[in-house]
Chain A
Amino acid sequence: MKLTRRAALVAAAASLALPAAAVAADLKVGVNVALSGPNSSLGIPYSKGMQAALAYKGEIAGRKIQLILLDDASDPAAAARNARKLVDEDKVDVLMGSSGVPSSVAIAQVAKETKTPMIGLSPIAIDGADNNWVVTVAQPTQLMVDAVVDRMKANGVKTVAYIGFSDSWGDLVYDALMKAAPSRGIKVVSNERYARSDQSVTGQVLKIVALHPDAVMTGGSGTPGALPFLALAERGFKGGVYGQHGLINPDFIRVAGASGQGALMPTGPVIVAEQLPDNYPTKKIALDFRREFQKVNGAPTTDAFSAYSFDAWMVFADAAERALKKGAEPGTPAFRQALRDAIMSTKEVVGTHGVYNFKDGNIYGVDQRARVIVKLDNGAWKLAQ
């Protein structure tokens, strides 16, 4: 008799304890970016942005959010391995990353197979219809390049030469340029490429200058992106030199120096948040982000990449809140499904780069509000709408 009563008490206690344990389950975010290797100039800002986002919003509906950060050393195979580790061992609810197109595609593959939602931080070369577990907060390259080409047309450019990285970013920008230019009556006269690690682009630039184009479009990012600017200035090129949002980086400004003066490029509005009109939808949260970043990292944010991390976090937070309301528990496949559904029905979530609306079939979720044209003037970016 005694035994059965004790057993019954234990069972009752256990059954009370279990739901309690479940209620305390944290939300887990698995982030994989390149903290070393050639893509680390994007990866390190991404990770700093994540830290700022965690400090800004560290819990949702009473649940704490845990951030797990892994390095893929710019290797897609390592990215895939890390993604599997995050899903299998750490049981994350959402994957975020990476800092290069091949690594992002690798993670997207894992996301689809393990049925884990993924929020990308850069453009990803996959089809939303193929893989409905992935979205990205980055602006589609076409959206940004369209703005540049429109500006070129307004400035009377008829022929443009292209010089970009010999990697997937250079490919993306070139493809977007080729799609946008003909409809504006602009002819693309060359497709020069250089490697990130090259020390000189003299040969490529000589070829470009010999063709006498009206303008040059560059497809690099970070400090190696400054090389065409320097070389063109050295050759005395007088036409306009345009860039894209991969160049928004303080080190680019530092290395390009005087040759970058007057360069025009598209970017998310967060870069010039203070210069935006007060009624611009993203202004308030962009300033909040800047303040948080300064607090957490001890230095002001000066690049666009860390802001993408913040936006991904915001999208996740909004979707997680809705998924939790449905009653699913974090760490379970049911929750991941609910989270995916919530992400795919995101409506008007305001981030620092733009306003997000996601739906099935398309991994991008921004519109015109996510881009502005800026000009590099005396070492600072100025809004040039």
Chain B
Amino acid sequence: MNATSRRRALVVLVVAAFAIAPLVGSRFTVTLLNDVGIAALVALGLVLLTGVGGATSFGQAAFVGIAAYATAWLTTVHGASPWLGLVFALVITGICALVIGAVTLRLGGHYLPLSTIAGGISIAIVFGNLESLGRHSGIAGIPAIRIGPWSLIDPRAAYVLIWILVGASLLFARNVLDSRPGRAMRGLRGGATLLASVGADAVRVRLSLFVVAALLAAIAGWLYAHKNRFVSPSPFDVRASIEYLLMAVVGGLGQLAGAVVGAAVVLLLKNALQDVLPLLSSGAAQIEAVVFAALFIALLHFARAGLSGWAVRWWRRRWPPASAVDTAALAGAEPLPRRTPPARGTRILEVDGATKRFGGLVAVDRVGFVVDAGEIVGLIGPNGAGKSTMFNLLTCTLPMTAGRVRFLGRDVTGRAQKEVARMGLARTFQHVKLRPQMSLLDNVALGAYARTGAGVLRAGFRLDRGDELRVRAEAWRQLERIGLVQRAHEPAGSLPLGTQRVLEIARALAADPVLLVLDEPAAGLRRREKDALAALLKRLRDDGVTILIVEHDMDFVMRLVDRIVVMNFGQKLAEGAPAQVRADPLVQDAYLGVAA
């Protein structure tokens, strides 16, 4: 049995178990499983937002509350159908998420969790003080969901709806993660600069993730309101949010299934403790919280990546995944549209009087040079010369204090990095920014972000398969180009540093760039790897890619480039062919300290 069919068998088993449960279990067991399903939806949102996107949110219960109150108000005060309530709840929650996210997601680090706590507390207080929402006593008598003539009051009927929604959400989430927006979301943990370098806006990607998580919570809220037929402010406060986060962590933030596992573990454990503890002690109720917390802590000691993370590790140890590759499909895919490469000799990049001041320190002082199509230009200089700063200036990662940069004839001074990236400037990083848990193929495919346009909705409903195939074929081709195609499905973190640098180049190439800018690509490479890299770069130049290399390994650069620009103390020292620059006494003085 190979890996795919084994996985498929597991999925079938799990689905069958869920299908049989309502027929076999008692009414109360089904009620409990319904609660698990609703909580799993919220936890799934957290797995996406916190697990994938790295944004810890203590406000998910507030979104559940907003949706629950929205549908409660619409169906009781205005007598609308619960299905209309669902639409209303989704719209209201989505708008709130957009507004809250737009304001708070710019905050990084610890500020984001705190602002979600702030939001969570405030929203619960607002619920409790609005007359129209029943203040603290809440809204009762909410109608049950009806499908045609059937009412979903019976827990077994509600079970079907709830778990179909859970299954659909899991599929949607998996589809999104497995596509263009998903790659960008998985790239969030690599930092905003990484995403900008492939033409994505980290803030917008995070916001879309935030809204998706909020909408999942909204579905949960709608189900909650119509299942309990009663809402009050207390189940939507910060403590409930903490409990959802607990579920997601215990289930495992690294897997989508962790949401279901976590919700099940927490709720079933609480129920079991409720049954078992009274047999052991008379003060059972107060002990329950203590025992639960102690078990929880023990579990996190034992399985830090959550239960599903532990299960996946065990599964992979027992049955190591084989890399099955469907080359036939990839070969048949239509290639992505390519930019027309500019004619040899066209001016691609023009830097004019670039200056960068950090307070009193002038890191780059009126430096100017050009890069023409079809050549390899090297930017060298001793340590502290300002090369990296210059690099960041011309890629628009840092704003210039003075001077101009023209790319492909257009003035890009002051533009954002992602705009320049979309115009055709691809870069690599001095400290490799790969996603270690994504496969080589996915990492390279991230580079092609700007070349297709599928959004979250199209991706979720699997309407982007055509584009996806083309992007993967492109990534495949780039991997072939750099000679790594046989390891396409391995995680990028398993590569040695030198190979990782080469992989970054492949990612940059996947963007179909006009200009490829490399930041110290030879650093940390061994002799043989450097030779291979030089050969690769020459091949690329012959293929029509213009390259600008920032390096400080003289040997490597001299044998490779067509022209060199030398910097020292922030100023341009010399420019010209390698031999000419080597013989320049100023350059020798800068590097060796003495005129040779």
Contact = CB atoms under 8 A, between A and B. Distances in A.
A71 B230 contact: no
A77 B138 contact: no
Interface in A54-92: 69-71, 73-77, 80-82, 84-85, 88-89
Interface string B220-246: 000010001110101100000000000
Nearest to A169: B136
Interface in B394-440: none
Interface string A96-119: 000001100110010001000000
B137 A109 contact: no
Interface string A155-187: 000000000001110111000000000000000
A168 B137 contact: yes
Given A75-B235, A102-B232, A85 B28 contact: yes
Contacts of B289: 36, 73
Number of chain B interface residues as a range: 20 to 34
A14 interface: no
Contacts of A109: 140, 228-230
A145 to B, nearest CB: 17
Contacts of B285: 35-36, 69-71, 73
A173 to B, nearest CB: 12
Interface in B133-153: 135-138, 140-141, 153
B288 interface: yes
A109 B235 CA distance: 17
Contacts of B129: 166
A235 B141 CA distance: 44
A106 B234 CA distance: 12
A206 interface: no
Contacts of A36: 285-286, 288-289
B375 interface: no
B449 to A, nearest CB: 42
A191 B579 CA distance: 87
Q: Tell me if A's interface is mostly helix, strand, loop or mixed.
A: helix
Interface string A115-156: 000000000011000100000000000000000000000000
B32 interface: yes
B274 to A, nearest CB: 7
A126 B232 CA distance: 14
A82 to B, nearest CB: 8
Interface in B96-145: 125, 128-129, 135-138, 140-141
Given A36-B285, A70-B274, A102 B228 contact: no
Contact of B228 (A80, A130, A171): A80
Contacts of B76: none
B27 interface: yes
A2 to B, nearest CB: 40
Nearest to B274: A70
Contacts of A74: 234
Contacts of A170: 136
B512 interface: no
Nearest to B154: A113
B26 interface: yes
B138 A130 contact: no
B520 to A, nearest CB: 56
A36 B278 CA distance: 15
B297 to A, nearest CB: 18
B467 to A, nearest CB: 43
A113 B153 contact: yes
A108 to B, nearest CB: 8
Interface in B262-312: 271, 274, 278, 284-286, 288-289
Given A70-B274, A81-B32, A84-B31, A105 B140 contact: yes
B136 A76 contact: no
A88 B27 contact: yes
B268 to A, nearest CB: 12
B228 A88 contact: no
Contacts of B35: 77, 81
Nearest to B128: A166
A76 B141 contact: no
Contact of A102 (B27, B125, B136, B286): B136
Given A36-B289, A71-B285, A113-B153, A76 B230 contact: yes
Contacts of A71: 274, 284-285, 288
A166 to B, nearest CB: 6
Chain B CB within 10 Å, residue with most, of A35, A80, A85: A85
Contacts of B28: 84-85, 88-89
A75 B234 contact: yes
A284 B232 CA distance: 40
A80 B232 CA distance: 13
A76 B153 CA distance: 18
Contacts of A172: 137
A68 to B, nearest CB: 9
A77 to B, nearest CB: 5
Given A81-B31, A105-B230, A171 B235 contact: no
Contacts of A106: 228, 230
Contacts of A85: 28, 31, 271
Contacts of B31: 81, 84-85, 88
Contacts of B128: 166-167
Chain B CB within 10 Å, residue with most, of A69, A89, A168: A168
Given A71-B274, A84-B31, A171-B136, A77 B228 contact: yes
B141 A130 contact: yes
Contacts of A105: 137-138, 140, 230, 232
Given A102-B234, A130-B141, A168 B136 contact: yes
Contact of A126 (B32, B140, B271): B140
B274 A125 contact: no
B27 A77 contact: no
Contacts of A75: 234-235
Contacts of B230: 76, 80, 102, 105-106, 109
Contact of A76 (B234, B274, B284): B234
Contacts of A126: 140
Nearest to A33: B285
Nearest to A102: B232
A76 B230 CA distance: 9
Contacts of B141: 130
Contacts of A130: 141
B153 A88 contact: no
A75 to B, nearest CB: 6
Nearest to B286: A36
A74 B234 CA distance: 9
Nearest to B35: A81
B26 A168 contact: no
Contact of B136 (A70, A73, A88, A167): A167
A171 B229 contact: no
A76 B288 contact: no
A101 B137 contact: yes
Contacts of A167: 128, 136
Contacts of B228: 76-77, 80, 106, 109
A71 B271 CA distance: 11
Interface in B31-54: 31-32, 35
10 contacts: A36-B288, A71-B284, A76-B230, A88-B28, A101-B137, A105-B137, A109-B140, A109-B228, A125-B137, A168-B232
Interface of B: 26-28, 31-32, 35, 125, 128-129, 135-138, 140-141, 153, 224, 228-230, 232, 234-235, 271, 274, 278, 284-286, 288-289
The 8 tightest CB contacts between A and B, nearest first, are A35-B285, A71-B285, A102-B232, A88-B28, A168-B136, A88-B27, A168-B137, A167-B136
Given A80-B228, A126-B140, A168-B138, 10 more contacts: A36-B289, A71-B288, A73-B285, A76-B235, A77-B228, A102-B138, A102-B232, A109-B140, A125-B140, A168-B136
